[in-house]
């Protein structure tokens, strides 16, 4: 994300911007691989947070700038860093406003990595919302088909879900007085898919169990619907999009089967 301001510096040629972008995506990739190599897997299997950084952020509400990795999010961090670097290389021939394109792309990668590494619910929410901004511009300017319509639709759907998420975070804070995922989840964080496991299953296990049957039915419908629509697609982008819907149905199914094996399978599905 540090590359983003350079995209608007006058005098820099487009190829320089691309090279800077490649460097600033390679750095987190190299660091994530290094962390993965020295990660203590015996502690990771127990859900212990490693490489932790915690600073006071908003003392009035006990919010912290709290980052760290464990066996759940570190593989996703490595995967995201790899994808970010590859996307820059694949986008090397972008000619339409390349400065803005790479700036938004780097901001998007930063926000997603922030979501994965956040251990404070408010910080998690902030990174989640930051991601909406670059996604809107990337879709509306460099997308295909009905770009503006798709971008606005994405923002509306995301903000609707974000409003519900914020309401849940506020309710949780006023109930417990804490925004720390570690304090709220305790020993319940084991393994599995990211957001649903980190928040839903880990922090609200009884609620997750209560709605598990309904969500499993929804997951099966998602798998079948995504697969059926995928079979009808002739456009590669649409095919990938709808197959991803079916894929996430399998993740949801694994999460709310609520067993250690199914949660591990959901994590593997997310990584694959």
Which of the four pLDDT bands, split at 50, 70 and 90, describes residue 193? very low
Query: Could you tell me what percent of the chain has a pLDDT over 90?
Result: 21
Chain mean pLDDT for the chain = 80
Q: Please write the tens of the pLDDT for every residue from 210-253.
A: 878 888 888 888 888 888 888 887 766 667 767 777 877 888 88
In this predicted structure, what is the pLDDT of residue 188? 29
For residues 100-129, one letter each, b for 16 or more C-beta atoms within 10 angstroms of the residue's C-beta and e for the rest, the string is bbbbbbbbbbbbbbbbbbbbbbbbbbbbbb
Per-residue burial over 249-265, b if 16 or more Cβ lie within 10 Å, else e, is bbbbbbbbbbeeebbeb
Q: Which of 52-66, 109-123, 183-197, 219-233 has the lowest mean pLDDT?
A: 183-197
Domain segments of the chain as ranges: 1-186, 190-272
Whose tokens are 């088909």? That residue is 145
**Does the pTM of the predicted model rise above 0.95?**
no
Number of Cα atoms under 13 Å in the Cβ half of residue 243: 11
Q: Is the pLDDT of residue 126 over 80?
A: yes
Extract long-range pairs of 243-248: CB within 8 Å, 24+ residues apart.
246/222, 248/222
Per-residue pLDDT of 28-37, as tens digits, reads 999 999 999 9
């Amino acid at each position: 994300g540090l590359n983003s301001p350079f995209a608007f510096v006058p005098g820099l040629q487009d190829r320089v911007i691309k090279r800077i972008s490649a460097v600033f995506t390679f750095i987190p990739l190299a660091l994530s691989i290094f962390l993965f190599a020295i990660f203590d897997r015996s502690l990771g299997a127990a859900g212990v947070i490693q490489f932790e950084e915690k600073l006071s952020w908003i003392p009035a509400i006990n919010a912290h700038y709290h980052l760290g990795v464990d066996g759940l999010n570190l593989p996703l961090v490595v995967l995201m860093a790899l994808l970010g670097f590859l996307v820059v290389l694949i986008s090397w021939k972008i000619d339409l406003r390349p400065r803005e394109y790479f700036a938004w792309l780097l901001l998007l990668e930063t926000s997603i990595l922030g979501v994965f590494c956040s251990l404070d619910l408010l910080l998690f929410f902030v990174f989640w919302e930051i991601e909406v901004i670059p996604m809107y511009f990337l879709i509306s300017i460099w997308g295909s088909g009905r770009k503006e319509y798709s971008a606005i639709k994405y923002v509306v759907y995301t903000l609707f879900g974000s409003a519900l998420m914020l309401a849940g975070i506020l309710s949780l804070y006023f109930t417990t007085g804490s925004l720390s995922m570690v304090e709220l989840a305790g020993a319940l964080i084991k393994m599995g898919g990211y957001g649903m496991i980190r928040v839903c299953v880990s922090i609200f296990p009884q609620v997750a169990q209560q709605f598990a049957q309904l969500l499993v039915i929804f997951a099966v419908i998602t798998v079948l619907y995504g697969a059926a629509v995928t079979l009808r697609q002739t456009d590669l982008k649409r095919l990938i999009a709808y197959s991803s819907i079916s894929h996430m149905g399998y993740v949801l199914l694994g999460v709310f089967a609520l067993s250690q094996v199914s949660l591990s399978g959901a994590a593997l599905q997310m990584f694959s």
